[in-house]
Amino acid sequence: MATRKTTKKKSELATAGANLKTAVKEVGTAVSHKISSIVKSAEKQLAKAQAELSKAGASAEKSVKAAEKKLEATKRSTSKRLAALQVGAERKAKALQKAVEKEATLLKKAVAAKTKTAAPKKAAVKPAAKGAAAKKTTAKKPAAKKAAAKKAGN
């Protein structure tokens, strides 16, 4: 009987070992599945984060490009304004220069005319002084000149 009891114990031990073995396999499979699902979840979250990151990067790139376009447009409009202002200033400067030159020529002409009219007056004053001296000496000559002037004027 002793042999039966030992065999029975062995079989219980063998069954317990087999049960333990299957339980370990099941736990291993369950842990493996759990780890696999955790990895898949982490991969999904990682893919989601990468998609959000690429969206944010694309949005930032789009914003930078828009800002660059705006900057270029501002540069163009500013350079156009500057060119227009320069052209306007040059036109005004040329107009002012022409006006100054015209004024200078008019002043030169006026000065020349005054000197021409002043020079004969001075010359006329000198002969008149000579004529006055001549009147003193001979009174008849100026009267004859006046009569000749009246005839020429009529």
**pLDDT tens per residue, range 61-117:** 999 999 999 999 999 999 999 999 999 999 999 999 999 999 999 999 888 888 888
Return the percentage of the chain with pLDDT > 70, whole number: 69
Which position has the token pair 């990067």?
Answer: 57
Number of domains, the chain: 1
Q: What is the pTM of this model?
A: 0.41
Phi first, then psi: what are they for 138, rounded to 5°?
-130, 115
Domain limits for position 12 = 2-153
